[in-house]
Structure 1
Amino acid sequence: MLAHLDFSSVFAAKNLQHLIWGVQYTALLTLTSWVLAVALGTVMATLRSTDNPIIERLVASYVAYHQNVPMLAQLFLWYFGFTTLLPESAQAWINTHGGEFIFASIAIGLCMAAYYSEDIRSGLRAVSPGQHEAARSLGLSFAKSMRYVILPQGFRIAMPPFINHTVVLFKNTSLAMAIGVAELTYTIRDIENQTFRTFEVYLVGTVFYLAISLGLMGVGAAITRSARILAR
């Protein structure tokens, strides 16, 4: 069977260029979604630390929704549903400026923010109460004590699940092909349609995803080790 494998058409100049473009587009989608997810997740985790019951219920509802609704359904809701609520001029602008990418970034980022907020919240709850008291005794406001004292420690504690969810976010970008985003999985399927080398194409795609995921985990492990050294 191995004798019949042929990767020459998969790695032809045109297809190789498409693969590289797919990897770059996936990286960009991962980055934009990650920035949104981390920023929003940090804000939600910080707000829950205020012990305000109304904020607690609102954030908990947000987290429950995004953790229990499939990400693919959320992608469809944003791309096919939300656009119908916009004026026609806004719809036209979005369609001519990469609406698929924009809504994929929003949907993935908002969904993963729920997971990051729980990671960060767990890290914040693990910080010693004495740290809070010490920060306030120095005259720091709640916002400054969170920024300079509590959040840095919470992030270090939350690093392992934080890294795992970053890998999950990267892998979930493959769902964006369902709304036409030309990321890696979309590119792989397009090359398969052109070359009819099904096994070879999807094997290459699998190797790409595996290599990038392991790379992210390796970088995350290095960051975790550095954070532990700095914390000593």
Structure 2
Amino acid sequence: MPVLSFAPLLHGDYLAWLLAGLRLSLLLTGLTLLTALPLAIAVALLRLSPWAPLRAAGEGYVEAVRCVPLLVHMLFWYFGVPELLPAGIKAAVYAGDIEIFSAWAALTLYTAAYMSEDIRSGVRAVPGAQLDAARALGFSHLAALRLIVLPQALRITLPPLLSQTLNLWKNTSIATVIGAAELMTQAQRVESASFRGFETFALVTVAYLSVSLVLTVLAHWAQRVGSPQGARR
């Protein structure tokens, strides 16, 4: 029976590879949040628009994205989209960090579709009388949503948005299929070089679990603060 030892993985190149993968996974999570949240707000507002064509556009986006697996989104952005570019540009794109940008694009579109539904629910939870009062005071429909309704809706939806962030963090692991050097890709690299599969993936499990637990604690905290009882404290 082989002797288990984590020591070889906790220094030198192996540790550097795992830390580099962890940093990229966290970077993908952060970058995706920065781009997915504004897109999710825009899509939610489209779905709440009084004009049918805008509502249809928002609904079409959400259904088109949610009905396709994230794996397919990753492969589409990595293999499909560059084929539409001229040959010279395509060669330059593949010579760069296309894996990271493809993963970022796929994660952004995918995450925004789910976040938009949470935000839409939050907007609908704000009493409609507030929107009517804002319109009576002279605000346009969009200004009333942006200045009066949306800030309250975001506070209401903070816990589910943090839950979506947890899903996003875990979904970054799928970027390994297109060769992005995130945590799972680096773990496979370490395992192939060290022949220590159990130890490698045990460390990766701890890394994913640790970040996930932090996000879970934040979600519970946000839920307490966002509740009526927590808001009065």
Q: Which letter does structure 2 place at the counterpart of 1:23?
A: L
What TM-score, normalized by structure 1, do the two folds share?
0.93
Q: Which moved more, 1:50-59 or 1:217-226?
A: 217-226
Q: What displacement does 1:78 show?
A: 1.0
2:83 aligns with: 84
Q: How far, CA to CA, are the matches of 1:38 and 1:108 in structure 2? A: 12
Q: How far, CA to CA, are the matches of 2:133 and 2:216 in structure 1? A: 35
Pairs within 5 Å for 1:84-163: 84-163=83-162
Q: Which moved more, 1:57-66 or 1:113-122?
A: 57-66
Q: Kindly indicate whether residue 53 of structure 2 is the aligned counterpart of residue 54 of structure 1.
A: yes
Q: How far, CA to CA, are the matches of 1:134 and 1:227 in structure 2? A: 24
Q: Which letter does structure 1 place at the counterpart of 2:151?
A: P
Q: What displacement does 1:51 show?
A: 2.3
- 8 Å Cα contact 1:156-1:228 kept in structure 2: no
Q: How far, CA to CA, are the matches of 2:204 and 2:96 in structure 1? A: 27
- 8 Å Cα contact 1:67-1:114 kept in structure 2: yes
SS in 2 for 1:4: coil
Residues paired across the two proteins, number: 231
- 8 Å Cα contact 1:37-1:113 kept in structure 2: yes
Deviations 1:8-31 (A, max 9, x none): 122122211111111111111111
- 8 Å Cα contact 2:162-2:218 kept in structure 1: no
Q: How far, CA to CA, are the matches of 1:62 and 1:173 in structure 2? A: 21
Q: How far, CA to CA, are the matches of 1:45 and 1:64 in structure 2? A: 13
Q: Which letter does structure 2 place at the counterpart of 1:54?
A: P
2:195 aligns with: 196
Deviations 1:73-118 (A, max 9, x none): 1111111011101112221232233111011100111011110110
- 8 Å Cα contact 2:160-2:219 kept in structure 1: no
Q: What displacement does 1:55 show?
A: 1.6
- 8 Å Cα contact 1:156-1:224 kept in structure 2: no
Q: Which moved more, 1:88-97 or 1:20-29?
A: 88-97
Q: Which letter does structure 1 place at the counterpart of 2:171?
A: N
Q: Using a 3 Å threshold, how does the CA distance of structure 1 residues 231 and 90 change in structure 2: closer, same or farther?
A: farther
Q: How far, CA to CA, are the matches of 1:167 and 1:131 in structure 2? A: 32
2:179 aligns with: 180
RMSD of equivalent CA atoms: 1.7
Q: Which moved more, 1:161-170 or 1:136-145?
A: 136-145
SS in 1 for 2:151: helix
SS in 1 for 2:201: helix
Q: How far, CA to CA, are the matches of 1:222 and 1:160 in structure 2? A: 8
Q: Kindly indicate whether residue 208 of structure 2 is the aligned counterpart of residue 222 of structure 1.
A: no
What TM-score, normalized by structure 2, do the two folds share?
0.93
1:71 aligns with: 70
